[in-house]
Amino acid sequence: MEYVLIPQKDGTAKRLPIPQEIIDATADRSAVVAYVRNPPKAALDAAETVPMQPTASQRRAEAKKHADAHAAADKKAAADREAALKASVAPYVNHKPATTEQERT
């Protein structure tokens, strides 16, 4: 089964089913394009209303945005962990061990 998503003015889309005989009508599928361009009103009215789907490039941009946001959050968390670790070991950094009996006591 094939459908074509036809954008509507309100931001939704109609998921219009393409009859198999239209798909089979012409080898170059020009009949499908003609059908979608000027679908029967009854078919369009009966078609399911769905949210308009993003384009392929929009999907990729959105995925990249999420990945970048997660990477930035991870980087900040790693920096925070490192800072906390540094703070926890700071008293012992550059600490000179006692070298004489007097210093040790």
Q: Of residues 11, 38, 51, 56, which one binds another protein by CB under 8 A?
A: 56
First to last CA, the chain: 87
CB 98 → another protein: shortest distance, Å?
Answer: 37
Q: Residue 35: count other Cβ atoms within 10 Å of its Cβ.
A: 19
Task: Tell me the three state secondary structure of residue 26.
Answer: coil
Round to whole Å and give the CA distance between 32 and 26: 8
61 binds another protein (CB under 8 A): no
Question: Of the listed pieces 38-46, 62-70, 88-96, 97-105, which binds another protein according to CB under 8 A?
Answer: 62-70
Token pair, residue 58, equals: 């929009």
Q: Of residues 28, 45, 101, 103, which one binds another protein by CB under 8 A?
A: 28
49: which strand partners? 14
- Which residue ranges make up the site for another protein (CB under 8 A)? 1-5, 7, 15, 18, 20-21, 27-30, 32-33, 36, 53, 55-57, 59-60, 63, 67, 70-71, 73-74, 77
